[in-house]
Structure 1
Amino acid sequence: METIRMAARHWDHLNPIALGDVAGAERYTLDRRDLTPDLWTEADVDVAETSFSRYIQARAAGDERVIALPIFVMRGFRHRCIITRADSPLDTAESLRGKRIGLTGWGDSGNTWTRAVLREAGVGVADTEWRVGALTADHPVMDRIGSIAVPDNVAATENDEPMMKMLERGALDAVMTPFMPPGFYESGSPFRTLFRNSQQAEAAYFTRVGFIPGIHLIGVRAELAENRRQLQELMDLFTTAKNISAARRNKLLDVTPWHNEALAATTQAIGQDWIPYGWSANKVMIDAFQTELVEQSIIGSCMEASELFPLQLEPSHQLEKVSS
C-alpha cells in the first residue's frame, strides 16, 4: 500500500494523526514542521499545510499543480493582530487613516484579512503609508513583498530596521503581526493592541460575517486529487483527528488556569466547532477572502468556486464528543 506523505506545523488538532491515534492512519505519515511546508517545491510531500493566499494567487496565475481541500487548519481573528504604543491615542480602525503602518508580509493571508478590518472601516490600501519588514531583530531579513505589484505608498523598511523599533521610536503608528513580540503581554509593556477590547471587536465581527478568517488550509498534489475516494478519506482523517483533539482539550489541555471559562465563552459566542471543515461551512468565508484579494489588488478577479475548489468535499461526520 502506497504511503501518503504529509507535512504541517505543530497544530494540536493534527497531533492524533502524527501519534497514530486515528483509525486508518496507517498509510499516512505526518511530518510536523516549525515552518509552513512548500508543496510546490518539496517533491517528497504529497499533502501539506498551505497559505490560502498563496494558493489562490497560484490558481489565478494558471498554476494547477496543487488543489486545495476545504480543511482550514489555521484560522484566527485579526483585530488583535494590530498593535500600537501603549501611550498612543489610536484605538479604532478608522483612526489609522493617514497613519504609518508596518506589517510582516504584504500578500500573506493573515495580513490580507487584517487589512480587511481597516477596509471595513473605510480605510483602504491607498489611505495609509505601509512599511513591510521583520517584526524584531530575531526575525529573518527577506523579501516580504514578492512579485506582487504594490502602489507607491507600500515599501520595504529602510535598512532592514525591525518594525518594533520603528514603532517604539515613533516612525510607525501601528504594526500588523500574527504573533506578538516578546514581552508584549507583560505588565508595563510599551505596546498594546489597537482595539482596547479586541475580543469584543472580534465577537462583533463574527456576528456580522459569520466566520473566523481562514489563513492556512490543506493542499494536495494534483495527481493525487484524481482519486476522489482517497481525498474523502483525507477529509475524514483530518475531521476525526480534530474530534479527538477537541475531546482531549476539554479534559487534558490547560492552556491557562482559566481554560474552562475561556472554552465556555468561545462555545457560547461561536459554537462548539470554531474550526469547521468542508465546503458548505466555508463557502462564505472563501468568497469574502477572494473579494479582499481583488479589492487589495493582489489578484485581478475572483474565480469560480469550481476553479478554486474543484472538489467541494464535506466531512462524513461533524464534530462530536470522543472519549479519551
Structure 2
Amino acid sequence: MKALEDGRVRPEGIDLVFLNYRVEETFFRQLCFQEFDVSELSLSSYVLTLNQDDPPFIAVPVFPSRFFRHQSMYINKNSGIEKPSDLRSKRIGIPEYQMTAAVWQRGIMEEDFGVPVTEVEFFTGAIEPSLTERKAKVSHSLPPGVKVHAINPGKNLSQMLEDGEIDAIFSASKPSSVDRCQNCTYLFPDFKLVEADYYKRTKIFPIMHVVAIKRSVYEANPWIARTLQKAFGEALKVGYEALRARSALRYMLPWLEEHVRETETLMGDVDFWKDGFQENKHVIDKFLEYSHKQGLAKRRFQAHELFAPNTLESFVL
C-alpha cells in the first residue's frame, strides 16, 4: 500500500485519493455506507455481501493482509486444555462470529483437530475494555446447532479469559490478559513450528483482506479493475525491495535478513506474499468451504465468482 499512498506508484488513468484509515473504520464506512470507490475489505464480510441479490462490490485478487492464525488462539490453562482437541465443549470468545480470522480458526480446528463448531459455545464482544463491541456490519444467519451469545454490557473477553468465565479466545489481536496472567497463554506455544507445518501440508497462507471496487463504479469502467491490479503488483515489488534492502534496516528488526531468509526457505524465495487469482485459488477455495460450512455464505461460492472477470488471468509486470 505504501507506494500507492506516497505516489511512487500511480495507477494509469486514475486520479487516486489515498485515505489511510484503520481497517475497522474503513470496513464500517464501506460496508454500511459505501463511501469509497475502492477499499480494503475483510474477506469474510466481502463474501457475505455476495449473499445479497444485488452485491454492492466486486473484488480484485489483491490481498493486503494475510496471517497464519494458529498464533492468535489463546487459552486459560485452568480450563484443562492441554491439546487442541480439548476445546470440545469449551467456551470460546470471539469479537464477532463472521470475522475472517475466526472463520479460518474454526475451520482449522475442525479439519485438523476434530473440534466442530457445534461442539463449542461462542461468546462475542469487545476484546478489551477500551474497545467497543464489534457488531456485524453485514447481516448473516447461523446454522443449526451453532451457539453464539453476546457477552453482558461492561464485560470484555480479555478479562473474562483471565477470570475463567471463558476458556479460550479466537481473535486477530492478542488479549492483554495473556501478558499479565500466568494462566493465560497460547493454545499453540510452538505456533511458529505448527504454522510452518500447516503451510508445508497445505500451501495455504491465509488471506484476511481483499481489495474491492464499488460494483457501480466497476460496471461503468471495467478497465479500472485490471489497472488497479497492475498498480498493486508494482507496489508489491516496491514492498519487496524495502524488505530486502541491506545497506540500512528499513524496519525495526535487528535480524530482518534472517527473518526474510527463513521465510523464503519455507515459502519461496521470489514471491512468498503472492497476489493473483490462480496463485491463490486454493486458498480462496478453502475459505469459501469454511464460510459455507459455518453458515455464513448462503451457498458454496466458487473462487472465480469473487473477482472481476478481467483480473482472473495473471500477467507479467
Question: What SS does the aligned partner of 1:288 have?
Answer: helix
Asked if structure 1 preserves the Cα contact closer than 8 Å seen for 2:37 and 2:213, the reply is: yes
Corresponding residue of 1:135: 127
Assess, with a 3 A threshold, how the Cα gap between structure 1 residues 285 and 43 changes in structure 2: closer, same or farther.
Answer: closer
What letter is aligned with 1:129?
A: E
Counterpart for residue 110 of structure 2: 119
State the TM-score, normalized to the length of structure 1.
0.85
Alignment of 1:41-60 (within 5 A): 41-42=32-33, 44-60=35-51
Q: Which amino acid is 1:31 matched to? A: L
CA RMSD of aligned residues (A): 2.4
1:91–1:195: 8 Å Cα contact kept in structure 2? no
Task: Identify the residue that residue 178 of structure 1 maps to in structure 2.
Answer: 172
1:213 counterpart = 2:211: no
Query: Is the deviation greater in 48-57 or in 223-232?
Result: 223-232
Q: How many residues align?
A: 304
CA distance in 2, matches of 1:209, 1:68: 24
Aligned residue identity for 1:217: V
User: Counterpart of 1:193?
Assistant: 186
Does the 8 Å contact 1:85/1:192 carry over to 2?
yes
Q: Does 1:161 align with 2:155?
A: yes
Mapped contact 1:71–1:218 kept (Cα < 8 A)? yes
Give, in angstroms, the shift of residue 299 of structure 1. 2.2
Post-superposition Cα deviations, 1:220-252, rounded to whole Å, max 9, x if no partner, equal: 011332334322110011111111011112224
1:159 deviates by: 3.3
Contact 1:91 1:196 in 2 (8 A): no
C-alpha separation in 1, matches of 2:101 and 2:122: 16
4+ residue runs over 6 A deviation = none
Q: Aligned partners of 2:162 and 2:137: how far apart in 1?
A: 23
1:30 aligns with 2:28: no
**1:166–1:59 Cα change, 3 Å:** same
- With the length of structure 2 as denominator, give the TM-score of the two structures: 0.87
Identity %: 25
Q: Which residue does the alignment assign to 1:17? A: 4
Relative distance call for 1:101 and 1:146 in structure 2 (3 A) is farther
> Secondary structure of the equivalent of 1:269?
helix
Q: CA deviation at 1:41?
A: 4.2
Q: Secondary structure at the match of 2:153?
A: helix
1:293–1:87 Cα change, 3 Å: same
Provide the C-alpha distance between the structure 2 equivalents of 1:301 and 1:100, rounded to a whole number of angstroms.
Answer: 28
Pair 1:82-2:70 in alignment:
no
Determine if the alignment matches structure 1 residue 269 to structure 2 residue 233.
no
SS at match of 1:199: helix
Q: Mean Cα displacement is larger for which, 254-263 or 239-248?
A: 254-263
Larger deviation, residues 120-129 vs 248-257: 248-257
* Structure 1 stretches lacking a partner, 5+ long: 1-13, 319-324
Please give the alpha-carbon distance, in whole angstroms, between the structure 1 residues aligned to 2:294 and 2:35: 34
How far apart in 1 are the matches of 2:130 and 2:285? 36
**In the alignment, is the contact (CA less than 8 A) between 2:74 and 2:187 conserved in 1?**
yes
Long gaps (5+) in structure 2: none
Aligned counterparts of 1:104 and 1:77: Cα–Cα separation in 2 = 18
Confirm or deny that 1:289 pairs with 2:276: no
Q: Would the aligned equivalents of 2:96 and 2:134 in 1 still touch at CA under 8 Å?
A: no
Per the alignment, do residues 116 and 162 of structure 1 end up closer, same or farther by CA in structure 2, a change over 3 Å counting?
Answer: same
Counterpart amino acid of residue 119 in structure 2: D
**Offset at residue 283 of structure 1 (A):** 0.9
1:236-285 alpha-carbon deviations (Å, 9 max, x no partner): 11111111011112224234222222111111111242321111011111
> Is the contact between residue 104 and residue 144 of structure 1 (CA under 8 Å) also seen in structure 2?
no
Q: Counterpart in 1 of 2:217?
A: 224
Q: Cα offset for 1:27?
A: 2.1
Q: In terms of mean alpha carbon deviation, does 60-69 or 309-318 score higher?
A: 309-318
State the distance in 2 between where 1:111 and 1:207 align: 22
Q: After the TM superposition, which residues 225-244 of structure 1 pair with which residues of structure 2 at under 5 Å, given as runs?
A: 225-226=218-219, 227-244=221-238
